[in-house]
Amino acid sequence: MKTKNIIRTLVLATALGMASCDDLLDKSPRDKFLDSPEFWSSENMVESYCNSFYANYAAYGNRGADGEFYFQSLGDDQAYHNFDNWRYTSVPGTASDWKNPWTEIRRANYLIRGMQSSTLPDAMRQRFTAIARLNRAWQYFLLVRAYGDVQWENQVILQPDADSPLVKAERTPRDEVMDSIVADLDYASTNLPEPTDKFTWHRHLALAMLSDICLYEGTYRRYCTQDDNGQQPDENRARQYLQRCIQASEELMNAAYSLTPEYGEIYNSVDLSQNAEVIFARNYEKDLLGHALVDYTTGSEMQRGITRDAIDAFLFRDGLPRATTSLPTSDKPQFVDGQWSISQMLQQRDARLAILVDSILAFKGYSHPREPELAEMTSSTGYTIRKYDTDQMGDESTQAHYRNMIATAYTDAPVFWLAIILLNNAEAHAELGDITQTMMDQTVNRLLDRAMLPHLGLTPQADPANNHGVSSLLWEIRRCRRCELMTDKGYRYWDLVRWHQLDKLDSRQHPAIMQGANLQDVPDCQVPLEGGYAVATSAVRTFLRRYYFYPLPSEQVKLGGSRQNPGWEE
């Protein structure tokens, strides 16, 4: 049974807009009431307040708004005809990437302070404090990941404006903030309950966050550079965080989670409440709270298609890459019944690819509906994304409504799930140099089994495409991660950041990231081609070192306490 109180909170939050930190101050009598001992002593009020944090996990999006899956397409896995350029190419005056996390951090701090004056039972106050610290930790991680050093606020700011000493304070060093994030999550994992519902706050969510965050920071501190990141590598901190990642990951691996039999089940199910792979999920409800992701991947608007570079990342069924496989490597489609089919290509590849993309190419001049009652689709690259679509919504007469109308889809969205934890664990062990074949079999090879691929050993054959400067083993673990999580939660972009490989998004140096399907045999092709491959856009994305960090908004810098990030000084 789904968690209706969270859905009710989300519906209200979406309809009315989430309260900002300013709204929680003294703007009106209602807000004065909110920040009072009476409010913080009401279990129902505080529970509702905590549920509102749930909207921060955008997942498939709120109603018609973009979510974290599919839409976060800046990377080398997807290309868009309207062009995904760098998030920022100049310094903005204000930015939601900066403002929104601070809003939620300050809301969390209000909750923490409120529990100090609350008359609720101690165990309840500790649980609510744990929810606040968990959500504060995640928002701080988003800030650090994007901006580096940020001010650490662990108290309520009564005047969050230019006169506030905390707002004007110098940015806290990254290492100190990251240690504080881990401390918050340690508190959460100790004081949150064991999981009984995949849609509510529980201690396994804190462990999943620790796994993700510690892998990120451990690899970041290993691969960062003084020139590009303003910070030299720190091997001690790298190992410390990688070990914490392993600790959190292995506790989850020893819990009652298991992979779903089919890759894709967690992406296109109307109910994840009983899914054994899912740790924490975002709940949607039919005709009450929907999302637009299915419509965007079945409808008439041109899709953010999968790139040639991404297709080439998928291994062949013999477990080898394109350069060394003995299987047929042709990516040319065949013209069958008036459509261009890639079925033969998909039969030779990692089984996840056939779940990710349709077997029929769709592009200008050759659009097609996934099913007869659905809209005619096209993709910027020819490869259309199908893994989020499902025929489980509605009945035969209403399928088109729920799949082809914005904000009507009600498939649940995974937020953290076992596959991520297995990948995190394998990569952390490989980075530490202590991975064994048993560990490989317990992590990556379980995913390869599901992908119908041979197991990966500790000394895989070298792939000539390895351009990361890492061992063949790390390259293959990174490949598995890329293929497993393709189009999910913007993982690919941030993986390239933490591996110090962001230059791979320079389309001048890596043209395949803007290319798509092989269309050289298509007569009178209406799609621009380059070497026979579809070109999603003629725009060029050029890498600059400063893109490893977002620029601080100019309004923040003007407050006087925050120096601008390297390369963004005006």
Query: Residue 288: what residue type?
Result: L
Helix, strand, coil fractions of the chain, as percent rounded to 5: 45, 10, 50
Report how far residue 360's alpha carbon sits from residue 344's, in angstroms, rounded to the nearest whole number.
11
Neighbouring C-beta atoms of residue 151, cutoff 10 Å: 18
Q: What is the DSSP letter of 275?
A: -
Residue 157: the pLDDT is 79
Classified as helix, coil or strand, 383 is coil
Q: What is the DSSP letter of 72?
A: -
* Three-state SS letters, 76-107: CCEECCCCCCCCCCCCCCCCHHHHHHHHHHHH
Report how far residue 11's alpha carbon sits from residue 13's, in angstroms, rounded to the nearest whole number.
5
Handedness of CA 467, 469, 471, 473 (dihedral sign): negative
Tell me the backbone φ, ψ of residue 299, rounded to 5 degrees: -85, -170
Classified as helix, coil or strand, 332 is coil
Neighbouring C-beta atoms of residue 138, cutoff 10 Å: 25
Pairing outcome for strands 368-369 and 515-518 = unpaired
User: Would residue 469 be called left, alpha or beta, if left means φ above 0 and alpha means ψ between -120 and 50 degrees?
Assistant: left
Report how far residue 526's alpha carbon sits from residue 251's, in angstroms, rounded to the nearest whole number.
53
CB distance 444 to 426 below 8 Å: yes
List all residues 6 or more positions away from 529 whose beta carbon is below 8 Å from its beta carbon.
Answer: 519, 520, 535
What's the first-to-final CA gap in the chain, in angstroms? 54
Rg of the chain (C-alpha set): 24
Report how far residue 346's alpha carbon sits from residue 60's, in angstroms, rounded to the nearest whole number.
27
- The tens-digit pLDDT sequence of the chain (570 residues) is 445 566 656 655 554 444 443 333 233 333 445 788 999 999 999 999 999 999 999 999 988 889 999 999 999 999 998 889 999 999 999 999 999 999 999 999 999 999 999 999 999 999 999 999 999 999 999 999 999 999 999 988 765 555 565 666 789 999 999 999 999 999 999 999 999 999 999 999 999 999 999 999 999 999 999 999 999 999 999 999 999 999 999 999 999 999 999 999 999 999 999 999 999 999 999 999 999 999 999 999 999 999 999 999 999 999 999 999 999 999 999 999 999 999 999 999 999 999 999 999 999 999 999 999 999 999 999 999 999 999 999 998 999 999 999 999 999 999 999 999 999 999 999 999 999 999 999 999 999 999 999 999 999 999 999 999 999 999 999 999 999 999 999 999 999 999 999 999 999 999 999 999 999 999 999 999 999 999 999 999 999 999 999 999 999 888 876 789 999 986
CB distance 57 to 415 below 8 Å: yes
Classified as helix, coil or strand, 74 is coil
CB distance 348 to 479 below 8 Å: no
